[in-house]
Structure 1
Amino acid sequence: MAIQSINNVTTNVAAQTKPVGKNPLESSKQGNPATDVDTVNISTADGIKKAVDASNSAPVVNESRVAEIKAAIQAGNYKIDPDHVAEKMMQLETKLANST
């Protein structure tokens, strides 16, 4: 088993090799098919835990901004900037297209 750290990602590699004989069919008869497998386990538990902790500590909704917008709507002072809305929609479309 070899353990290597690559960019703060711990990689555990465990490998079992099949016995090699003169004839490939002979070697498969000699080995135990239930245990003759290669496996690779990649553990990023620390990275996942950090991401989960960060997302749990971040507020889901910016309550003060929501209250500010509600007050402006009720007062009749909320202005919609169609250019800004279109720009944000295009940014979202670009991010979605680049994420696939």
Structure 2
Amino acid sequence: MDIKRLATGGLESRLTDPSSGNTTGKASANNAKSASTSADTVTLSSMKDIKTLEQKAKSSSVDNSARIEELKQKIQDGTYRVNPDQVATKLIATELLTSGNNG
């Protein structure tokens, strides 16, 4: 669940919900302005970019079978250890990439 969406979801529902008790036009206009500044954006890739990526994916060959077998063996032996710092770092990096905050 995305907390950022929860925060803006309440505002958007108050803008469109007549039962919210907001009867002043000025407050409604201010809320609408705030809502528009936090809107999500979508950027579509061109078909050329997509085809190029498909070709790269088809032409690349990755063989992770040795690493997979190594990990399976460690898990079965009970010697596999999770590095919590590395997991946290990867989670933060993933969040930054998916949220669009690259800095």
> Which of structures 1 and 2 has the larger relative contact order (alpha carbons within 8 angstroms, sep 6+)?
1
Q: State the TM bucket, normalised to the shorter chain.
A: 0.3 to 0.5
More helix by share: 2
TM-score, structure 2 length as denominator? 0.44
- Larger gyration radius, structure 1 or structure 2: 1
